[in-house]
Amino acid sequence: MGKLLPKLSSLFILAFVALGSTVASAQSSVRKAIEMADAEITDAIKKGDAGALAVLYTEDGKLMPPNGDFIVGRKNIQEFWRSTMQEGGVKRMDLQILEVYSQGPIATELGTYTVSDCSGKQL
């Protein structure tokens, strides 16, 4: 029994390290996917393409604009982005990821953003 305990302890430590490595790898993959989605968002805004932004949402997706009500549905989301870019003057959005959380099929990005007009003035 005296020799078994150190072996079990080593086994648990290895399992914990392997699990931590697997979790870190999964988090890295999730972060990369979010970075790619953020790049699609910023590119679509630069191009003024509300349709490209809208397809990033499901048909019944919800958008939560700052200081506003939920916008529900892809068509309404597309109209929001069209209006924001054409009438609101938004020509650029910079996104900065601060943290990414994921568990199973759900991921959350915590970050900041700035929006600018065509002259670079922050709105």
Please report whether residue 90 resides in a domain: yes
Please report whether residue 56 resides in a domain: yes
Please report whether residue 66 resides in a domain: yes
Query: Which of 1-15, 59-73, 79-93 is predicted with the least confidence, judged by mean pLDDT?
Result: 1-15
Please report whether residue 97 resides in a domain: yes
Please report whether residue 30 resides in a domain: yes
Residues 88-92, mean pLDDT to the nearest whole number: 94
Please report whether residue 121 resides in a domain: no
For residue 73, give the CATH number of its domain. 3.10.450.50
Please report whether residue 72 resides in a domain: yes
Number of domains in the chain: 1
SS (H, E, C) the chain: CCCHHHHHHHHHHHHHHHHHHHHHHHHHHHHHHHHHHHHHHHHHHHHCCHHHHHCCCCCCCEECCCCCCCEECHHHHHHHHHHHHHCCCCCEEEEEEEEEEEECCEEEEEEEEEEECCCCCEC
Q: What is the pLDDT of residue 88?
A: 92
| Residue-range definition of the domain harbouring residue 25 | 4-116
Instruction: Provide the whole-model pTM.
Output: 0.74
Q: What is the pLDDT of residues 22-73, one digit of tens each?
A: 455 666 889 999 999 999 999 999 999 999 999 999 999 999 988 889 999 9
